[in-house]
Amino acid sequence: MQHANRLVIELTGVVKRYGRDTTEPPHRAHALEPHTNGPTGAPLRARALDGVDLQVRAGEIFGFLGPNGAGKTTTIRLLLDLLRPTLGKVRVFGQDPRSAGPALRRRIGYLPGDVRVGTRQSAHELLTHLGQLRGGVSDARIRSLAERLGLDLRAPIRRLSKGNRQKVGLIQAFMHDPELLVLDEPTSGLDPLLQREFLAMVREASDRGRTVFMSSHVLSEVEQVADRTGIIRDGHLVAVESVDELRTRAVRRVEVVFGHDLPDGAFSEVSGLEGAEVHGRTLRGRLTGPADSFVKAAARHEVVSFLAADPDLEELFFTYYAERGGRHAA
């Protein structure tokens, strides 16, 4: 298939600095190095993105992970031409978002990180309007999505709760069945049941050949749907990995309660388990990589309860961070 490896999103050396003069000509690149001063002598604003190279292929679900302020929203808004790169190249479907304009955005569904639609109108009115800006979306489609997410379309938007506003945002992103979905923290504000429904919607879109680019703080939700993930921190893309690779690096907090007191040193030799502590019948520790040997060791005893917490993203970031020899530290 000719388009199987077609790039849907391509960022090359993208630098983004907020503030005036956001699009510097390349020959002034040297003036943009960190810790230098601008033409007026004032220190230049920090770079929200500092040389990001990223590629997302057609049909892929790409998870974009990073802590607060890492640059996820900045990256996403560059794709929609809401922001312009200071340096570097942004391409969506091979086109520059700035010059391709409305025709390119027709092919994209976008969920803002903070869905804000402060009007008195009803959700139905707003969604119909947004659909018409896209050349018309059938009412049946809007209603079926609303039903699926459990949104009351008649409610005035201004009075909707955070989660319900998020549903409005999701519906407008999905309703025209776009070729590319760009979703900024799509599950924020959704309860666990709706998070599952959302992940199902992402999988269905992917089955239809759509490309999905979604940002998140939560590894577990990305891990459930994504094919690949990018990890960004302080404006640097520190890793792009398949979900399987990521999983083996993840550090999980585990807590097991046994039916009887444990013998001394029962879990000291288990590979992947660090910081094991035994208090009476309870074992706590941090598990990295394959869980196999830990589960088998635990299975030799009577297990009352078993908890493996969601991987801690900060710790995951830290492993990547430390690995790079603190290149971006300081």
Ligand X SMILES: Nc1ncnc2c1ncn2[C@@H]1O[C@H](COP(=O)(O)OP(=O)(O)OP(=O)(O)O)[C@@H](O)[C@H]1O
CA 48 to chain centre: 17
Considering the complex, what minimum distance in angstroms separates the CB of residue 236 from other proteins? 20
Kindly tell me which of 134 and 203 has the beta carbon lying closer to other proteins.
134
Residue-wise DSSP of 138-174: -HHHHHHHHHHHT--TTSBGGG--HHHHHHHHHHHHH
73 lines the binding site for Mg ion (CB under 5 A)? yes
* Distance set, CA 100 to CA 130, 165, 286 (Å): 20, 30, 49
**Smallest separation (angstroms) from Mg ion to the CB of 70:** 8
Where does this chain bind other proteins (CB under 8 A)? Answer: 18-19, 22, 77, 80-84, 101-103, 105-106, 108, 110, 112, 114-121, 125, 128-130, 132-135, 169, 172
Q: How far is the CB of 166 from ligand X (least distance, A)?
A: 14
Q: Which is nearer to ligand X, 38 or 113 (CB)?
A: 113
> Which of the stretches 61-69, 90-98, 199-207, 290-298 binds ligand X when contact is defined by CB under 6 A?
61-69
Per CB under 6 A, 85 contacts ligand X: no
Q: Which does 5 bind (CB under 5 to 8 A by kind): ligand X, Mg ion, other proteins, none?
A: none
The DSSP result for 236-269, as a single string, is EEEEEEEHHHHHHH-EEEEEEEESSPPPTTTTTT
Least distance CB 40 / ligand X (angstroms): 18
Asked if 71 interacts with ligand X (CB under 6 A), we say yes
In the complex with other proteins, which residue's Cβ is closer, 57 or 134?
134
- Determine if 72 is a binding residue for ligand X (CB under 6 A): yes
- As measured in angstroms, the least distance from the Cβ of 19 to other proteins is 8
Structure token pair of residue 246: 């990521």
CA distances from 312 to 142, 275, 285, 292, 299 (A): 36, 15, 13, 20, 25
Q: How far is the CB of 239 from ligand X (least distance, A)?
A: 15
* Largest distance between two CA atoms of the chain: 71
| Token output for 32 | 């943009």
66 binds, among Mg ion, ligand X, other proteins, none (CB under 5 to 8 A by kind): ligand X
Cα–Cα dist 146/21, whole Å: 42
DSSP-based three-state secondary structure for 38:
coil
Q: Which of residues 12-51 bind ligand X (CB under 6 A)?
A: 18, 48
CB closer to other proteins out of 73 and 229? 73
Closest to ligand X by CB, 69 or 150: 69
The SS3 of residue 51 is: strand
Half-sphere exposure of 279 (CA within 13 A, CB side): 4
> Looking at 72-80, 160-168, 275-283, 318-326, which segment touches ligand X (CB under 6 A)?
72-80
The answer to whether 51 contacts Mg ion (rule: CB under 5 A) is no
Window 94-113: contact mask with Mg ion (x via CB under 5 A): -------------------x
Helix (H/G/I), strand (E/B), else coil: 270: coil
For residues 171, 176, 179, 181, the Cα torsion angle rounded to the nearest 10 degrees is: -20
**Helix, strand, coil distribution of the chain in percent, nearest 5:** 35, 30, 40
113 near ligand X, judged by CB under 6 A: yes
Which residues would be at the binding site for Mg ion (CB under 5 A)?
A: 72-73, 113
Which residues would be at the binding site for ligand X (CB under 6 A)?
A: 18, 48, 66, 68-74, 113
